[in-house]
A = this chain, B = another copy of it.
Amino acid sequence: MDAPVRIGVVGVGRIGAMHAEIIARKVDGAQLAAVADVHAPLAEAVALQFDVPAMTVEELIASPLVDAVAICTSTDTHTRLIELAAQHGKAIFCEKPISLDLAEVDRALAAVEVAGVPLMVGFNRRFDRAHQSVHDAVVTGEVGDVQLARISSRDPAPPPVEYIKVSGGIFVDMMIHDFDMARYVVGSPVVEVYAKGAVMIDPAIGEAGDVDTASVMLTHANGAVTMIDNSRQAPYGYDQRVEVLGLKGMAASGNPPLHSGITYTADGLRGPVVPNFFLERYADAFVREWDAFVSYVRDGGPSPVSGADGRAPVVLAMAAGESMRTGQPVRVLEI
């Protein structure tokens, strides 16, 4: 049996702490080796919980105890830490988005290439069994070449306005997953973006410079179109659906209900809401994401979510923002 991949988690806020727990407890072949955070007491608390050392960010990245670094810090620090980890020859997992600055993204990806280290970007939804089944139905040819795709992502409730002010906006903080999903399932690069946005849920979101409802049409090189909608609010739960129509059929993922109980009366049928938290919906996907990372680091091969896969959604988010502001479709290089 191989030695486990020893993973250090940098940044142990909500998402980083979740990754640390998954690595520590649920991933065969992985070992949580250390944790770090710019806020030292947070790192210490998580370290205590999992009985691993707390380090400074720089110590962890340089540590001989660490084979791979999971970068779960704030977005503006990602590229610097990627470069640092690459210099130390570490395998790298980086949360999405890599960066909101494409020049920085390119510099980081160049550093990774020079160092020849593995890099995987944390687009967790690719590892959801349902969305993956859509992708697989395309890849195997079961549904044929894709003509149309539809993607809906709707959060149960808006995030705090304070978050929205710094998030980069709906195309970056939310639809970026859907841009990735379109690339994942359609199988033809995107060449044009047309976007619309509106403030319909909360005026405070508009005052913060963002929209709360957004629609995007992506045109692919082969003529296929992906239509994406996002809403910062879905009162019935966390709504995540992907669908492709191909020349031979359709594949679609839906939402798991909170439970399977249904009541039937003279008023019709009645059932439960959809679970309303992404950690719940994607609990299984996060574990499978780490399984994929470990296999990739151990066995090599193409990255499950490469640097180019991390870069493209940022380009599309930028283009969507420009399209929404100008009211015009925006061409992109095939990505």
The chain A residues found within 8 Å of chain B, CB to CB, are: 51, 128-134, 137, 142-143, 145, 147-148, 150, 152, 154, 194, 196, 198-201, 213, 215, 217, 219, 222-225, 227, 229, 231, 233-237, 239, 245, 247-274, 327-329
Contact = CB atoms under 8 A, between A and B. Distances in A.
For this chain, the copies found in one complex come to: 4
A271 B270 CA distance: 6
Nearest to A225: B215
A248 B235 contact: yes
B270 A268 contact: yes
Contacts of A248: 235, 265-266
Contact of A223 (B198, B254, B329): B198
A308 to B, nearest CB: 25
A252 B269 CA distance: 11
Given A269-B272, A328-B328, A263 B245 contact: no
A237 B260 CA distance: 16
A327 B219 CA distance: 11
Contacts of A262: 251-254
A329 B267 CA distance: 38
B137 A263 contact: yes
A98 to B, nearest CB: 28
A16 to B, nearest CB: 18
A134 B261 contact: yes
Contacts of A217: 194, 196, 215, 217, 227
